[in-house]
Structure 1
């Protein structure tokens, strides 16, 4: 008994929509495999059309399926929710089928269109390869909300008849030829456009958008040189720019984009016309920057920047930071996380931002500590920092003299936490603590280990050494140091958000003596 055929059409379409998951059979197989005529009729009106030649064994079967499905669907005179048309052609008859079916479907309307049609040739003599030109009827699809064009030519009447994309929200142009005038014209003709992407396109060196009120996201991914990016969009919040290595930094003017908070930039950062390498002058309101560059001597100056991710390997000591409100920094070697935590009693009146720095040094630890010390010196104004350094993996200290040769005083921090590797010897632990305390002068320090607390207590050498090194950093007789387990009430009161569970740590807390020896 055919019970499915008795269901309302909307429910059948809902069932078909679940077949779009990766682990479900494609809708076209369902259409071909169910014997019920009523069911077959219902599937033919399903408003999601997926024409992808890669899902078919032969080109002949693909084009037959496209013709038949288009004919059946258009008989219902309904608007397609989504049309995906991915195909290649060689023969004129194949191009004729593509033209005819695309035009028929567009005349009925479509809300979301993804089209990628390319000419294929097995002869190297065909240069340049002809491109599929989109039909002019596309420009009049007023219900279109999302449009992705790959490898095709834009309609011939684009700049003549005008565009009626009054509902378009998302536009992606990929691997097509497009000039500056068309970019400006398209954005002006799409008043509701929120998301605009240009990828691998040719024909323009300037990307200009003026006075667009709804544009929120722009992505420009190019392997050709882009000389200038001008965007005037008061609601722009996200920008991604990727330029080919060696092509230089485009001039960028986004000063009017006061809601621009997230910027991703991949490419070279070269001095501008004024000789400045201060990249953030282009983005006065940015809060999050993802930067992938191999450029040296970079300057980052911003009062609004809170998050910085360095996606490439670069030396932090080569970057000049003027980012007083930076809350998070991540690089391949370590990351900084500046986050609110319980106020330690010794800085109870401080209004400075608390922070944590997670460090994963590789290779020669001595060289890494040198980088760390120089970097800390650049972060002027940082007073409270939680420093987590993990040296597991068997790295060995060789020379601390190079670290001492920096001739910079230890950087004053509120709290330092050192992760000890239980597989290392006591002498390695001592060298590790020595290097850390050459870099910084903490008010409190925690030695942390994955071994039980009793094991740490048994390592009297490292405890004694840490105590003495901390005491050496202070004025003689003015400071006392309390050594308490992390499970103690005092340690929990001061550092409950950062201490490890199960008491696998010892805390060293510096305190001013009420009465000191003169």
Structure 2
């Protein structure tokens, strides 16, 4: 018995939503008459000319599918249209199909259309502005409707708005966003025509993502529930002036690019972010010095941060103290550790230091003995985490660990691995060396500290990806004689 065919239509449609192309949908339709009916009534349309070998077949399919839904008077859940137009007849088909779909209404629209041999981009129909049930809108490489600044925009249900490679000016940004009272997420990526991003009066707005490759002078956001602000200065043009005073819940700001080209560096930039808790910085150049001021709520600072997937590490941290994360994506040597040592002895307030070993060891730590001539004791820290690159030689890890412990004296240390540790001997050596180095550090300090060494059963469980081993220093309670 075909149990799937007995499912309610809305559940079967949800299953079909995981298909990636019209070809897969056609394959499903031939399974049975039931599945033929389900695919015909499936309210999600995904059109991409890359999925077709014949342009004529592609545009005929687009015309047929959208006309069928229009005649059935069905409101589409999602329409994604990706195409390159080469002939006027293709433009006519796209215009007609969009009008049909928009007149019936839809909830999600992704439109990505380019025109070959033309100096202008495809212009979206004015009908788009009247789709009041639309919840998600993504526009790539298209011109906005010509009546945007003339007619009322009825995006009363829009939650997500993403503009990419779209020409839009300051007033259009302001007008468009204020016409979306329920907006929660706003992206403006590689767009041109604007110098200021002003977003006002959006109480539901939580995420703003701004990627710019032209001069942006000012970012002014009035959104009391904004949580995340992502800024990417693609060509290192410089950080804009910012007014985020009303964003009382803004806690995470990753910035990719360069600081403002003035003598104050990031001072002006950070002073506009007094309430953030986490600030991630990735720049295209190295700094001799970096100054952050007027950020009393800051509990985590990451520099440099080059991978988007690393942001969640902050939220997943088991240590809630103030912390700093260092992502070592380039050459690292003894000079880097010397600078880290100097930084730690500034009044920075960091108690947790997360270090991720993702560096290129082109220069060995041959000058470590010279560093040991520095008379300052290691900086006291509550916790240190080291991310292991298991492709490195054991001697490299030993040198790195010695350099870390020259800089700081942690009460606890965690070793994490980016890949499975299948070599039991290698893993045992790592644990033994780490244990001995930490114990030696405490012996040098003349303190009675016991370090909890992972058991052999724990070692066996650490061969899986992403596992960690912990070393915790515990004071040994001395029994009184008597």
Match of 1:299 among 288, 291, 297: 291
1:271/1:90 CA distance change after superposition, 3 Å: closer
Tell me the equivalent position of 1:477: none
Q: Which moved more, 1:438-447 or 1:206-215?
A: 438-447
1:32/1:442 CA distance change after superposition, 3 Å: closer
Conservation of the 8 A alpha-carbon contact between 1:197 and 1:220: yes
RMSD: 4.9
Structure 1 residues not aligned, in runs of 5+: 314-329, 342-352, 472-479, 489-498
The Cα shift of 1:165 comes to 0.8
CA distance in 2, matches of 1:440, 1:434: 10
Conservation of the 8 A alpha-carbon contact between 1:82 and 1:111: yes
1:309 equivalent in alignment to 2:284? no
Conservation of the 8 A alpha-carbon contact between 2:242 and 2:269: no
The Cα shift of 1:402 comes to 3.1
Match of 2:76 among 62, 77, 80: 80
Q: Deviations over 1:63-92 (max 9, x none)?
A: 111111122111111211111111121211
Match of 1:52 among 33, 48, 51: 48
CA distance in 2, matches of 1:419, 1:232: 39
The Cα shift of 1:245 comes to 2.6
Q: Deviations over 1:171-212 (max 9, x none)?
A: 111111110010000011111111111111110111111222
Aligned pairs for 1:462-501 (under 5 A) are 469-471=444-446, 481=448, 486=453
Conservation of the 8 A alpha-carbon contact between 1:20 and 1:27: no
The Cα shift of 1:470 comes to 2.9
Match of 2:140 among 132, 137, 150: 150
The Cα shift of 1:373 comes to 1.5
The Cα shift of 1:310 comes to 2.2
CA distance in 1, matches of 2:453, 2:150: 75
CA distance in 1, matches of 2:32, 2:221: 56
The Cα shift of 1:436 comes to 6.3
Q: Deviations over 1:372-423 (max 9, x none)?
A: 31122125455687999999x99855234531454534434578899999x9
TM-score for both structures, normalised by structure 1: 0.70
TM-score for both structures, normalised by structure 2: 0.75
Tell me the equivalent position of 1:347: none
3-state DSSP class of the match of 1:101? Answer: helix
1:99/1:417 CA distance change after superposition, 3 Å: closer
The Cα shift of 1:358 comes to 9.1
Tell me the equivalent position of 2:371: 403
1:203 equivalent in alignment to 2:193? yes
Tell me the equivalent position of 1:376: 344
Conservation of the 8 A alpha-carbon contact between 2:83 and 2:113: yes
Tell me the equivalent position of 2:15: 18
Conservation of the 8 A alpha-carbon contact between 2:278 and 2:298: yes
Tell me the equivalent position of 1:228: 218
CA distance in 2, matches of 1:246, 1:402: 37
Tell me the equivalent position of 1:474: none
3-state DSSP class of the match of 1:165? Answer: coil
CA distance in 2, matches of 1:97, 1:295: 52
1:409/1:15 CA distance change after superposition, 3 Å: closer
Conservation of the 8 A alpha-carbon contact between 1:139 and 1:164: yes
3-state DSSP class of the match of 2:127? Answer: helix
1:283/1:39 CA distance change after superposition, 3 Å: same
Tell me the equivalent position of 1:268: 258
1:251/1:354 CA distance change after superposition, 3 Å: closer
Conservation of the 8 A alpha-carbon contact between 1:445 and 1:509: no
Q: Deviations over 1:49-108 (max 9, x none)?
A: 112212111111111111111221111112111111111212111111111111011101
1:159 equivalent in alignment to 2:127? no
The Cα shift of 1:445 comes to 10
Conservation of the 8 A alpha-carbon contact between 2:232 and 2:256: yes
The Cα shift of 1:111 comes to 0.8
The Cα shift of 1:275 comes to 6.6
Structure 2 residues not aligned, in runs of 5+: 416-425, 456-467
Conservation of the 8 A alpha-carbon contact between 2:47 and 2:62: yes
Q: Which has the larger radius of gyration?
A: 1
The Cα shift of 1:439 comes to 4.0
CA distance in 2, matches of 1:144, 1:444: 51
Q: Deviations over 1:344-396 (max 9, x none)?
A: xxxxxxxxx587989989977533432331122125455687999999x9985
1:235/1:91 CA distance change after superposition, 3 Å: same
1:230/1:355 CA distance change after superposition, 3 Å: closer
1:312/1:507 CA distance change after superposition, 3 Å: closer
Tell me the equivalent position of 1:324: none
The Cα shift of 1:272 comes to 5.5
